Every structure is written in structure tokens, then in C-alpha cells.
Amino acid sequence: MKSVVLANQKETIVGLRLAGIKGELINDVEEVLPKVRALINDPSVGTIMITQALYNANQEGLLEIKLKLKEKMIIKIPGFNEGIEESLIYNHIRDSVGLKL
């Protein structure tokens, strides 16, 4: 199964393309959910990566889709010039280990 990235920045797509991951440029946040649904129906796709900005703009719809998936993954990744969002798990690991990631 292959991976696909949906991003709103060319730099993210180019960077992941160098690693062998195909990507699609999304200019409008309204395009995300239909594109994700199409990728879910593609049997050759196993992982769908979405940049934070696009993911956050479509969070409710993506969470509904993620809860129904059994064989595919949807992953939120930082895009170009986007920092990593700190989560409770991130903070817990940082505090437990004593390292700043």
C-alpha cells in the first residue's frame, strides 16, 4: 500500500516526493473531505497524510471518517513552516524523560 499527502503548500509536497510519497496540492479547505473519501476508496492507498492547517479546518469530518476506518490511516503532519502542535502525550513524554523534543 502506498502513502499520499494532502498539503496546502508546494514545499511539503516536494519534500515528501523526495522520499517517494506522492502528494496533492489542496488550495481550498472544502476540497479535503471529498479527496479523502476518494483516497479511502482507492485500494492501493494505505496512509493519508494531511497537513495541520488542512486537518484543523476539517477536524470534525476527518474524525468521523477516522472512526470508521479499519484498514487505512489518516495522519496529521506539520507542513512547511508549521510547528508541531503540542499534545498531552507530547507534554507527558517531555516531562517524564526530561528532554525537550
The pTM for the full model equals 0.78
**Dihedral sign computed on CA atoms, order 71, 51, 87, 95:** positive
**Residue ranges in 1-101 assigned as alpha helix (H):** 10-17, 32-40, 52-57, 59-68, 88-97
Q: What are the residues facing 49 on neighbouring strands?
A: 5, 75
pLDDT at 87 over 80: no
Q: φ and ψ at 96, to 5 degrees? A: -70, -45
Q: Where do the domains of the chain lie, and which CATH numbers do they carry?
A: 2-97 (3.40.50.10580)
C-alpha grid cell for residue 2?
Answer: 502506498
Query: For residues 13 and 50, is the Cβ–Cβ distance under 8 A?
Result: no
**pLDDT by residue (tens digit) across 17-40?**
998 999 999 999 999 999 999 999
